[in-house]
Structure formats: C-alpha cells, structure tokens
Structure 1
Amino acid sequence: MNTDQEAILRLKNDAHLQEDRSAWRPTLLNLADADDREELDRLARCGLVHRVYDCLSRQIADLAKTRAAGNMPDDVALAAFQRELTDGMPLERWGRWAFYPWNGNLVHLLPSDLFRELRLNRNRNKLTLAEQDRLARLTVGVAGLSVGNVMALTMAMEGCFGTLKLADFDTLDLSNMNRIRASVWDLGVQKTVLAARQITEINPYAHLVLFQDGLTEDNLDDFLGGETPLDVLVEECDSMHLKIVIRERARQHRIPVVMESSDGSVMDVERFDLEPDRPILHGRIGEVNVEGMSPEALQFDMALRINPISGLTTRMAASLLERGETLSTWPQLASDVVVGGGHVCMAVREIGLGREMKSGRRILDPLALMTDGPREEPKPRASESRLPKPADRDDWRQLRPKMRSVVEAAVMAPSGGNAQPWRFYADGDVLWLAFDRDRSTNLMDRGGRASMLSLGAVAENAELQAKSLGWDTEVKTFPAPDQRHLVASLSFREGSPALDPLQPYIATRHTNRRMLPPAPIPAEKTAALGRAAQERHAEMVWEQDRERLDRWARLLGEVDRLRLLHPRLHRDLVGELRYTPESAAHSRDGIDLQSCGLDANALAGVFLISRPDVSAFLRAENGSRGLTKYGELPVRAAGALGLMVTAGTRPEDWFQAGRAMQRIWLAATAQGLGFQPVGSILFLLEWFEKAEEGFFNHWEAEVAKSIVEEFRNLTADIDGVPAFLFRVFESPQPVEPAHRLPLSKLVRVGSPIGRPLD
C-alpha cells in the first residue's frame, strides 16, 4: 500500500470524519435546559462540532427592523428590544442551538415562532399573515424527488406547508446533478435524506416525514392518509404504473394531485377533492393492453398517452427517438425543472388557500413566450358596462295597453347600481317576473339577495299600477319550483279601480345623492314611512341621534374605503358608473356620475380613484383614510338614518322585503324627503365576516373585523334581520330618475314554463 492509499484509509477510518449518511434531522438544543447543556458538552467532547455560527444578535436586530417597518432602531432602542424579547436571559441560553450531524455545524437561532415570523416576513403582502397561517396547517406530499426536489425546496422556502411527506427509494447519482441542487459529497445519499437536509438547513423547525423505501402497496395509504392526511399531492414519479396507482388511491382519499412535466412546462391539476369521479390523468390513458408489452414499452406508451407527440417540444420529440440509442432516458434541463418548481408551488398554494384552481392541463411555457418577442401592454380603456346587451325584440309591441302600462311602471323600480336584473314574460292575464342573473354579477349581490329586493320592488310597482287600472292582482312567489329564475307570477282579473296613495309617485321616485345641511325629520314623516313598512310586514328602526349617526358615518366610510381599494370590489363599483350623461343615455343602466350632485373636487376624486392603478397603489400603502369621506358625507348630511328590518332570510323573504322597501321609498317621495340607500354594509357583511380566509389583505382584514364588530354593536338591540339601510333628508329640489332599459330588451310574450331565460 503506497503512502497516498494509507493516508486515504486513515481518513476513512477516522471516526471524527465519518458522516452518518442517513442523518437528516438537526438536533435542537435549548441551553436554558440542563439536559440540553449536557448534550452540547458531549457533542463538543466527542469532536462532533466542527463549526459554530452565532449570529443571533443580527437576527434580533433584523426582527426589530422588520417590526419597525424597515426602520432600524438606534442602539438604545435595540438594546431595550433585546431585553424585552429575551426577558433578560443571557443571550447564549436564549433561543435554540441547531446541531447538524451531517456537517458538524452548530447554529444559534431564534425560537421557532420568531424564526418563522422573520424568515417569512418578505412574503408579505404577496401572502397575508392569515394566508401564511393557513398554509402552515397544510400537509403536502411529494412523490419522486428528482424534479420533485426543487418543488419541495420551493414550497419550503415559501412556507407552503406545515407538514411535508417526502417519498423516493433512489439515491443521488452524478447524472442527477444537472437538475438537482446538491454537492458532490452528497453523491450516494438517498434523495429523501438529501431533500430533508436541504429543507432543514433552510428551516430546522420544519416537520418532515420520510418514506425512504419509496411508495409501495404497503405504505401508500399511510403516505396519503395516516396521522396527517395529505391536503395536496405533488406527483413526480418516473414509474407510469405508480402514476396510475397513486392517482386511484388519491381519488379514493379525495386528495388533489398536481404534476408538472418539465418539457414545455405542462402542468396537470386533478381536483379529486372536488371531483371524486373524475377520470385519472384527464382520461388520457384510456384502456391499456399490456399483453406482450415489455415494461420499457409500457412506460414509453403511457408517457406518450399522458403527453402526446403533438404536444412535445421539438427537442424533446427528437430526443425520444434517440432514447435507448444515444440517450439513456429523456432529457431534462435545470431551468425547466426550476420553473416547474415555481409553477407547482403556486398551484399548491392556491389549492391550499381555497382559491380557484380548476382541474385540467395548463401549458405554461415561458420560453415560448420569450421567443415570441415582447408584447405591448394593453392600453387602459374608459370604464364601460360589463352587463350583457341582449338583442332587441318586438314582443313588447304586442302587449295590451293595460299590461304595457303595468310593465312600464314595474321597470321604474330601483336596483343596486341600476343593474335592472329582471325580465318579463306576458302570457294572457299573467305577468311572469324572472331574475336575470347575467345582470347580477356584483359581489354585493351575494346569493341574489340584493336582486330579490329589486324584484320585490318591481312586483310592488306592478300591483300598484294594476290596481289603478281596475285590475285585482294575485302575486305568487317562485311559482315554478323547477325554474328558480321565475321569481313571481302576477295574475290579473277585472275589478274596480282602487288608487293607492303611493301609486302616483312611481314615476318620480328617485335616488337623491345631494349633500344638504342636515335638518331633523318631523316625527309625522318618519311615522308615515314606518306605516308603509308595516303594510308589507317590515319594521323601521330610526337613527337621529347625532352621536350615533357619527358612528354610522365612520362605519360606512370604512366600508366604502374597502370598496374603493379591494380589486374585485373596486371593479364592481367602477363598473356601475357612467362617466358622462351620453354614456348613461346610451347604456340605459348604471349610475350617471354627473347626476350625483358632486362638486368639481369630489368629481375629480372619483375619476382618480376609478383608475385601477391608483387604487392598487393606495391599497399597497395600506389604504387612504381620505377615501372614507365618500361613505361618511351622506350620513353626516342625513336628517335621519332608516334601517328596515324583516323576519326571514329566504329568497321569498328578501322578495317581500323588496316590496316593503319600495313602499317606504314611495312614501318618502310623497313626504318630500330626499332618499338615498347607503346599505352596502348589509350586502358585504358576509365577506367582512370571512376576513381571515384570504379575501382581504392583512390590513383590510383588520378593518373588516372592526366593521363587523361596530355593526354588531350598533344593531345589538334590533330584533330581526337588517334588510335595507337608507338616509332621508329634507330636499325641495327634485332629481331626474335614472335611465331604464327599453322594453324591447326586457319583455317576451308567451309562457316561460319549460323555457330557459333568453
């Protein structure tokens, strides 16, 4: 044996230099504990600790800086922060020491909760704190740790799981290192161990479960279920047989599956949690005849069923022809694999957060996008109606004069954003009222409740007009149970004319948004509105105390601030606006901004906040308190705030509430009162109550929670369901009613039974 051989042999036999090739879990030591101090002494005596990294003071300073929104405290403030954080404990005994047995490193770190807070701080606000907490409860499985390695690491860096299960039977070869981030001294280490080491070197507190024999018939159900059932499975196995089996079991367990093919960035999502009967791999594999097929031929055939030749990139298709000739297997590039790791992490995150991530195949090829050349950004367009515009029909011309008069009165009813979500079918002496859901796309119309109010108001107008023409009316709600879009039928028969005192005000009823100095509303006028409500089994609650009105103003100001800044709520709100009288006259729906009584400054402000880029900037800056004025001013200019209360929450109840609402509004018109709905809180309350579920960003969630709390306080003594909120004020100046869609877009002749809404 020569000198070199002897030297190498001595190194190999030196116990201090031997690595446990199966070790992957760091030892966490708390030196405030005597046993852990003794364990650290043992590690030092045995020579197992090779390097010590103690930068805890830097971590504490970094934590102080992030909590101060990026402003580093001065030395005095930092020392005070450290004393408070450690409760005066010597720094050496505070926090945790992580010992990594595979490399001998000993690292001093923040405790787990502070470590997580600081490590994931830069995720905000791409991920809100509520979203991060939700992801921290997620259990994800990764089967196959070649391309799966980077997916696991990406999810670990982003904090996309609380528990991660890793499965692979193989060890690292040099040929794997074109796409697996590893060191040459990791050759021969199991891929599960390698991934676990890499993850715990990022986060020593990570909860990992390793399946080092890969997935087998004996352990597959434990991998998918067990003590911590999977919420999402990332499948990146080479075996086509295992791809099928694991999906069959995942479907039984109702676990969604995500897979990314690095060629052309093809990502498959199978939502077995939502579609338990969905065919595996989108039904692509069909029936496989394995008779006479070698395992290699079966693998190749199945691979091409999953990713047909027509979908392969040119180089991958050419490489497949060389497989078994000049190539041992199909090629993979690190750039493709890294991109795929990001795609899979995004998909897991969206599924874990309960966002929409439908089943199906996605082609996400970034190279194709880059080589196509740059694309011009679309230029912003002026806001226009998102509502459909059905073709005109001549049916309305066939209406008898009385029926036409009834319909013309009916369509004068109010609706949220002047969307007019109604259609009519005239069939003899019956007028059918239908809910047009295509005109009800606003988030505020959750469950169609706002539309039911409007449809109830339509029915009230129709009956009032019919009575004035000598028709008795029978109103039936939801007369065709199998056609829920048919909200009501109004059957007419000849009777004696009976003029309701509210009927003459149908044509002049309007929304008055003027801001006039507030004046008390006489008791006889509020009493008249109360009687109108009771005629349709509703009750009125009045707010006239200025202190409580101020509380309502602040509350509704915060509601409008969120509406103006949250992207979807902003889109809905801006979509209601018509910026010029010409656009309002053309569309015949929406709110004519010029008729809102705004002064030049306020009007300019609306135009500015209507721009999505302005709204997005303000939202990123945690909102603009000045935006609350749009909700506050109407209440501060109110003589009184009225809250209509009803008994139930079924669609029928909301329909009846709409009839009461219309009578109240007509009574206000008869009393010479200005009238403006201000009740968006009632229709957004359920969204605010779900502030923790990722709908809002972090500061919006806090505002939403405070809105819910204050609303509950203000309505604590109310017995019933708050259904409609409005302000009234003395207003001698009439306002022009909003535009209405022409009857040619709304009326059809004939029975709607068995006929879809057209």
Structure 2
Amino acid sequence: MPSEDIPCAALLLAEDLEADMDVLDRLRRDGVDLRDRLDDQRAGLAALGDDLPDEAPRWAYYPWSRIAVRILGPAGFDRLRLDRNRNKITAEEQARLRSAKVGVVGLSVGYAVAYTLALEGACGALRLADFDELELSNMNRLPVSVTDLGVNKAVIAARRIAELDPYLPVEVWTDGVTPDTVGAFCRDLDVVVDECDSLDVKLLIRTEAARRRLPVVMHTSDRGLLDVERFDLDGDLLPFHGLLGDIDPETLQTLSTRDKVPYVLCLLDPEEISARMAASMLEVGESLETWPQLGADVGLGGVTVSAAVRGIVLGHPIASGRGRVDLDRHLDALDVPSVHSEAPDVPSVHSEAPDVASAAPGVPAGASPDGETPQDPLEAVIDAAIRAPSGGNAQPWSIVVEPDCLTFALAPEPEPVLMDLHRRGSLVALGAALHNARVAAANHKILGPATVLDPPGEPEPGVPLAHLELGSDTDPDLAAYHSGMLARATNRSPGDPHTVTDDELEAMHAAARLLGGRIEVVTESDDIARLAEILTESDRVRYLDGRLRSEMVAELRWPDDPDPDSGIEVDSLGLDTAEAAMLDVVLRDDALDLLEEWGLGRGLGRMTRDRVLGSAGLVAVFTEGRSPADYIRGGAVVESVWIAAQEIGLAVQPVSPVFLYADTRSDLEHLSPEHVDDLDVLRQELAAVLEVPAGGGLALLLRFGRASAATMRSRRRNDRVRHAGDVDGLIPARG
C-alpha cells in the first residue's frame, strides 16, 4: 500500500496563502537553503507569448535535501518545462498524456521508465512499487547518489521526479506488490509497466491486468527486448504471449527458484540473448551473484517502454507482441552492411532438454537395447556383447563371428575422439563387450577359452585383439551375472548419498576379483569432495576447449534424431527441469568462447560437481599396465563391477575426466594445448587421491549411489557384427 511516513514529495507553498508563507518563514529561520530563479522562468514564459492564467508562484521544499526552490505556478511551470516537446508531441496529445496514470513495478529499469515518462510529461500521475533498498552494486545503472544508499528504490525515484516536476503526483509503495495488494495497485491505472525481478509477481500483475483490461509493457535489458500485452484490447490473451502456457500465479509461487528457471528462459529465449549475457548466465552462483545489467541497457529500457506507453495512451496502433531494439546490432551494421546476428549455431532444443556437464566424449554411456533376448545361444552371446557401454555410445568394436569363435577388433569408424588417447577408451569398451559375451556364453553353456592379444604398437582397426572360443563349458560365477548384465544401464540421475555398507563394498570387490582385477572404492566425504573438484575442472576444460566441445556436442542425439543408433540421447541425461532449460545456453559456442577468453567457466562443471557430491562413493578400476591388453582386461573388470553394483540396487554412471588416458605432457597437449598446465595439475591430483599403482593406469572412474531407475537405454548400431566370409551379412541389433 502507499507509504505515507517517508518524505518523497515536495512540499508546495503558495505565495498567495498566508499560512504557506508562515511555513516558509520557519524554514528560512531553520537554515533551509532558499533558491530563487523565478525571474528567469518568468522571462522564458513571457517569450512563449501564450495567454496563461495569472498564478501565484510556489516554493517547492524538499525535506530530504533541505532546499526550497521558487517556481512558477502549475500551468506556467508545465507550459515552459515541456515547451521543447512541441510538434514532437502536440498540445492536444500533451493534454491527453497528462490525463494518464501509469503504474511501475520494479525500480531499476522501472526507474528509467518512470523518470522518462516524467521528463516528457507523458503521464499525469505515477504509482511506483518496489520493496528493495539501494545498494552500492545498483549504482552502475541508476542515476543516484551515495547519499541514497539504504533508501527504498521507489522513494529515490519519487524524489528525483519531484525534483524534476514537483507538481506531478507520485504514489510510493515501499512494500512492493503482493497477492493481497495487486488489485489495489492496479486500480485506476491506464497502463502497467512491469520491471520487477520476481516471476511470481510478473504473472500476478498480468492476471490482474487481464481482469481489469489494462495494457502491460515490459523491457528486458539484454538486446533491448520489449514486450507489449494489450489486455485492454483482448482480455483473453494468455500472459507472456502464452510462452508459459496456462500456469497460474499460485502454482508458480510454489515452485523453487531452480524449478522456475525453465519459465524464465522461455521468456528470455536462450538462442536470442547476447553472447555476453549467455556467458554470464553460466557464471551466476560462481563468479557472479546475479545477472548483469548495464546502465545503457537500463536507459534504453526507459526510452523504449516510455515510447510504448506514450503510443498506447495516444491510441497509436501498438499491438500485442515482442520485439528488439538492439543497439549493438545496429551499431555493428554501421561498419558491416550485412545483417549481424549473435544467435549461435546450436541444435534446437525441446522443452525437456537439459545441461550437459557429464554427458561427455569418452565416457561409457547408455545400456542394453530394448527387446527380447535371442533364444539361440550364439545370437544371445552376440547380443550380450553389443550391449556393452562405450564412450559416447560409439560402439567402437568390430566382431567377426565364426561357428566356434568370436573375434574382437576395433572398428574402422568412427574416428577416435580426442580424449580416447591411444584408443584406450575404445579398448575398455571392447573389454566390456568381451566380458558380456563370456557371461552369456557361460549362461548358455557354450563357454570356451578367451584370449586377449597384445600386438605391438598402437592398436589398429581390424587387427584382432581378443578371441572368445565357443565350446560346451560354463562358469557358475560368470553365469550368475547374466540377468544383471542384460539389465545394466547408465544412470545419470542425481543420487541420494548414503553410508556404503560392507555388503555393497564386498559385492563390488568380488566382481573385480572374479576377473583378477583391482579397484579402489572411495567413500570418505573429503576424498569425494576432492574428486568432485577435479572432475568439475575437467568438465570446465571440456566445455571451453573448442575441439573437445565440438566432439561432445557431436555425440548428443536430440529427440526425433533420424540416426539415434549411436551417441547419447539427450532424454537419457537424467537432467532436472532447470538443467534441461539451460542446455541451449550451455552449448552456445559464442558464450563458451567468451568464458574461455575471460578465464571463467567454473559453473560449467556444476552438474558433475553436484552429482559427485551427491554420490555414496566412487569406484576407480585400475589396469595392471598400460598396454592395449591391459585396458581390454580393465574394461572387463569395469563391466563386471558395474553389473554387480547395479544388481545390489546402486545406480552407476561413469564420470571419468577428460585426461583419463593421458600418460605424458605430450598427451595433454594433444588434448587441449591451451589448458595443458591445468590438466597436468588435475592429473597429478587425481592420481594422488586414488593412489594409482605404479606402472598401472585407470580404466574408468564410476560414481554410484541410490537413485531412481534409469528411464532410457541407448540404442545399438547394426553394422558392428558380421559372419566370417559374409561381407554383407550383418546381424541386426535388437531393440
């Protein structure tokens, strides 16, 4: 409701009223500064030659500054002050504007709007609402004084307007607008200007404006976005042009700040915001407290909203809609005649899309294809092999089927991604495929010996790396994992941290011992926190390095993608609504390039950090050495541990860092020349926390915890298996 106990209007003292002059005399005796420039004003008014009524002068006293100024009476003051409006605004139009009452909610951009309306005489009364007080950080965009610090923003605006035009009535609501007061605030208004920060209040204002048939105008300070909603012409309009659907203020108020993010981004249009704003959004909560605003942008908002309000009051054909008055774009066009656009070349994202921090190249992803398991033993073994996880779901294996043997090699394509150094990620995936095949062979009693080969040099596509002979044996320990192997999936959902039980630890260690492997299970909170920081920084590099980022984006598959048989489907990322809404921003090359230039970007790893910190623990799977055969065997251990963990109710997700398979500084330079030093430090820290054995390496790092079941399984390619001698004979993947 209006505030009456804070002085924010001038005290007007008429010279033809004795009581007013007594007040002025007391003020003079109290040492108030009296300023008299009336003669200049009278001369200016006389030069206009207008026939104006004879008015007694006034003294306008401003108690907050203890200054009183002698001025013309209201008609003469208005005529002279607004003289330079003539023809741009006609006398008839000026009179119509002076009959309008405008309400402004939110006094940052709203300050500029209210002051500009007052400057032009574009309204006859103002109603200002804001509960916030001025802070020093507001003073990059508000024309205020350090003497105003701690004063309510609406009060400050009213005082500056009173110093501009002491005759203009201004109501001040220092409690802002609430569900209980929105009706009273909107009463008797002609236009409502919304510049508040609260999405709840924004919707509340529009709901009330629609009920009262009031137009609403809003300016968003980035790239000059202007919204006009003519509820006065059509009371059935959906708020925000329908961008938020039919959500009501009461429901919106119950949502957390995080759950409101998708709605806010719907209004901003992530693909259309400036690169600098997009980059800044990714830093909120890290290097920034909140979104940045520039004084020039706020000033532009005051100008554009005031022009819209003036047009509405004067009956100009201003329709509902939104558009941009983008000064940067127009300034760029001065030198560049072609149309300039900052809009990034990124995939269009559907409403459920998220923030991708963990869906990175080289990280085994996804799970078994859906569909029935083949009944034929040989086909069941093949089906099991192709269910294995692989980095980016690339499925880098090639399997040749003979009547009594399966031969595993690396596929000729796709080309390995940067972080698949020495093809070690592909070798781990191949080892997982071999392990799955052995589990299925044991279950169907056609198990034979498995041989892992170790040809010299870097592994080449098509060169045999492992053989699985098919015989008539079984292995009860392997066969016991068959159903778990078929159900194994990547679960990227947030987990609920819990104290890891001895049974859970033993199940994972037993699965590693079954294959002669070694693991380290990290459960101490301090160690988990250290690993979270390492992985966060690794993700930051992955996003900021253009080549690594390009490979990451190339692995993502969007809804309705025509070729989803490899890669990571966006819907499988396990992201909440806020993460989903931010995906368009997170993948903008222009924004990420700016963060790289500025040396920022810590917020890019936020999701990984949150996921890891919310885990019960992490499992590091070691390799005995660093030969291709060692990584194949390590991949088999990874799959065995993963299956065992999931069988006891744990959700599992690979969270390996980008430098996982780097041995030397040269490897790091190959990964990211601009971030070699950062990656080198992170690599040493990771080895120290995990106590990587001398001469050995890491096959993979997994996080685990309790979470809801994975809702989607990655699909499988149909060109990775063929019968020996049959060039075209492909065995289709099921599901």
TM-score bracket, shorter-length normalisation: 0.3 to 0.5
TM-score, with structure 1 as normaliser: 0.44
TM-score, with structure 2 as normaliser: 0.46
Higher relative contact order (CA 8 A, sep 6+): 2
Which structure has the highest helix share of the two? 1
